[in-house]
Amino acid sequence: MNETPTRVVLADDDILLREGLASLLERSGFEVAGQAGNAAELLALVREHRPDLAVVDIRMPPGHATEGVEAAKVIRTELPEVGILLLSAHVEVDQAMELLATGHRVGYLLKSRVTAVSDFVETLERIVHGGSVVDPSLVAELFSTRRRQDPLELLTQREREVLSLMAEGRSNAGIAHKLWITEGTVEKHVRSIMSRLRLPETEDDHRRVLAVLAFLDAR
């Protein structure tokens, strides 16, 4: 018996992008339960279909401000089992942080990163299965806005690479594969990062992501 496909609702006022994503997802085995061009349509679709995942543009009509994020917050409150992936044309730290801190099944990705189908599908699957995914550009933006004498300045270049991959929700094994280093080396880097940033050590990938984001956002 075939596995039930992951059901997705798409929300973006750019119809070409939306249709492109829909086509991409359907070819990759997902079921697109509906498409929305604004926040109100998104909420109606999610309440009706209760999908596994909602892919949401941060800025949508009528104001093109934070309508997508606000709708995503409503979804998270009413239907916490629905995964949420925020898409944005630009790095928007403040808008993304609050929702990312709410828990499992949430992610943030720049639209420009939706280039490799396999990577995008992997991101969606990670969120659907309870993970948290953060675009490395968001982490880089947080790095760039930190004050002088910040503990982040103590991290080596390799530790920053590991931290960015941690923020993507990757396990130690996944980081090792990405950076072509041993898992033992990754574990050493993670311990060093946690020590330098004064964060509690944990094996839970989700908790690692939230711990790093909470620290960066609080600085």
Report residue 214: phi and psi, to 5°.
-60, -40
**Tens-digit pLDDT profile for residues 123-155:** 899 899 988 888 877 766 665 655 445 666 778
Helices (H), 50-135: 67-78, 93-100, 117-128
Tell me the domains of the chain and their CATH numbers. 7-134 (3.40.50.2300), 139-218 (1.10.10.10)
The H or E element spanning position 111 is none
pTM above 0.85, yes or no: no
Do residues 142 and 150 touch, judged by C-beta distance below 8 A? Answer: no
How far, in Å, are 5, 97, 196 from residue 160 at the CA level? 36, 19, 12
Do residues 132 and 104 touch, judged by C-beta distance below 8 A? Answer: yes
User: Is pLDDT of 218 > 70?
Assistant: no
| Mean residue pLDDT across the chain | 83
CA-derived radius of gyration, the chain: 17
Which is more confident, 206 or 18? 18
Alpha-carbon dihedral sign for residues 15, 51, 107, 66? positive
Lowest mean pLDDT among 63-72, 154-163, 192-201: 192-201
DSSP bridge partners of 32: 8
How far, in Å, are 8, 33, 77 from residue 81 at the CA level? 13, 16, 10
Residue 37 pLDDT level (bands cut at 50, 70, 90): very high
Side-chain half-sphere exposure of 109, counting CA atoms within 13 A: 24
Residue 111 pLDDT level (bands cut at 50, 70, 90): confident
CA distance 172 to 184: 9
Taking each helix axis from N to C end, the angle separating 39-49 and 67-78, rounded to the nearest 10 degrees, works out to 20
